[in-house]
């Protein structure tokens, strides 16, 4: 079995050029290294999953005694950020333990094994989960994209206006979009194309934006529903409509 995701941090955005000269905006993510702190099985826990932690410098005094005992049980180092990721059946792979020893796992992962960015080597798309930036108390124009009212002199154009009916039902209906706290929400961005992987520095570059500020924690996982590749565009089997029409016209003559 192999894990399907890894924890990381958002480094920032930049741009790259492909072989055709087209520019692509990318986000650079520090993916791991992570360590497996616990393996969950269907027989014992009711489902199959792996609990992983982001390996970073953290003082032992900052970890609670119950969590210290939890990590010691799996021979894993103390970590502060822990998440659960799914597992999938995989072939025999070579993994490194927390002590740095390489071993042949025969597709079986155990607590203490490292999780690196190379799990995405054969993937084209990933899903990224992050926490959006906090925007404080925001109005309806910024929070919900309302158009606002007249912007001429004497008007308060960012006020939302009426929020309920008069005689019936004489109340504000649930779900009314109003001003309030904005941001700090769990946001999932699906099917971000992988533009590059640096195995030495544990970096992964994905095309597009990722929720959250710089240095924010993100969960990167293999795409659950990757898009279907478009056939006939830029490939060897591409048909040029202009050439095809000329060829058809010559045949009619």
Measured distance CA(118)–CA(32) in Å, rounded: 10
Measured distance CA(141)–CA(143) in Å, rounded: 6
- Residue 95 burial (C-beta neighbours within 10 Å; 0-12, 13-18, 19+): buried
* CB atoms inside a 10 Å sphere around CB 234: 8
Measured distance CA(161)–CA(180) in Å, rounded: 15
Length of the chain: 253
* Residue found by looking up tokens 């999938």 in the block: 88
Predicted pLDDT at 113: 87
Measured distance CA(35)–CA(50) in Å, rounded: 10
Of the candidates 194, 27, 24, 191, the one whose C-alpha atom is nearest the C-alpha of residue 123 is: 194
Of the candidates 30, 72, 69, 77, the one whose C-alpha atom is nearest the C-alpha of residue 53 is: 77
- pLDDT per residue rounded down to tens, the chain (253 residues): 788 999 999 999 999 998 888 899 999 999 989 999 989 888 898 988 999 999 888 888 888 899 989 888 888 888 898 999 988 876 544 555 555 554 445 567 888 889 999 999 888 999 999 999 999 999 999 999 998 888 889 888 888 888 887 788 888 889 999 999 999 999 999 999 999 999 999 999 999 999 999 999 999 999 998 888 765 555 545 566 677 777 777 777 6
Cβ atoms 119, 87 nearer than 8 A? no
Predicted pLDDT at 237: 53
Q: Is the pTM of this model over 0.85?
A: no
Q: 197 preceded by cis ω (within 30°)? A: no
Predicted pLDDT at 168: 83
CA–centroid distance for 57 within its chain: 23
Rounded CA Rg of the chain: 25
Measured distance CA(37)–CA(15) in Å, rounded: 35
What end-to-end distance do the CA atoms of the chain give, in Å?
A: 63
């Amino acid at each position: 079995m192999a894990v399907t995701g890894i924890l990381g941090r958002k480094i920032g955005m930049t741009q790259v050029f492909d072989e055709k000269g087209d520019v692509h905006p990318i986000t650079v993510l520090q993916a791991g290294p992570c360590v497996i702190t616990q393996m969950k099985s269907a027989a014992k826990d009711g489902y199959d999953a792996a609990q992983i932690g982001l390996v970073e410098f953290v003082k032992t005094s900052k970890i609670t005694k119950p969590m210290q005992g939890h990590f010691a049980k799996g021979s894993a180092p103390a970590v502060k950020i822990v998440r659960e990721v799914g597992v999938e059946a995989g072939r025999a792979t070579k993994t490194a333990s927390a002590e740095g020893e390489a071993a042949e796992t025969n597709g079986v992962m155990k607590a203490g094994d490292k999780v690196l960015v190379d799990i995405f080597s054969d993937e084209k798309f990933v899903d990224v989960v992050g926490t959006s930036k906090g925007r404080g108390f925001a109005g309806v124009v910024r929070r919900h994209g309302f158009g606002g009212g007249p912007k001429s002199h004497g008007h308060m154009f960012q006020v939302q206006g009426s929020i309920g009916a008069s005689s019936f039902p004489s109340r504000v209906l649930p779900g009314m979009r109003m001003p309030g706290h904005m941001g700090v929400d769990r946001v999932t961005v699906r099917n971000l194309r992988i533009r590059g992987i640096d195995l030495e520095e544990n970096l992964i570059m994905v095309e597009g934006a990722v929720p959250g500020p710089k240095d924010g924690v993100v969960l990167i996982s293999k795409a659950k529903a990757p898009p279907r590749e478009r056939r006939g565009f830029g490939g060897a089997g591409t048909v040029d409509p202009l050439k095809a029409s000329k060829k058809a016209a010559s045949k009619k003559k």
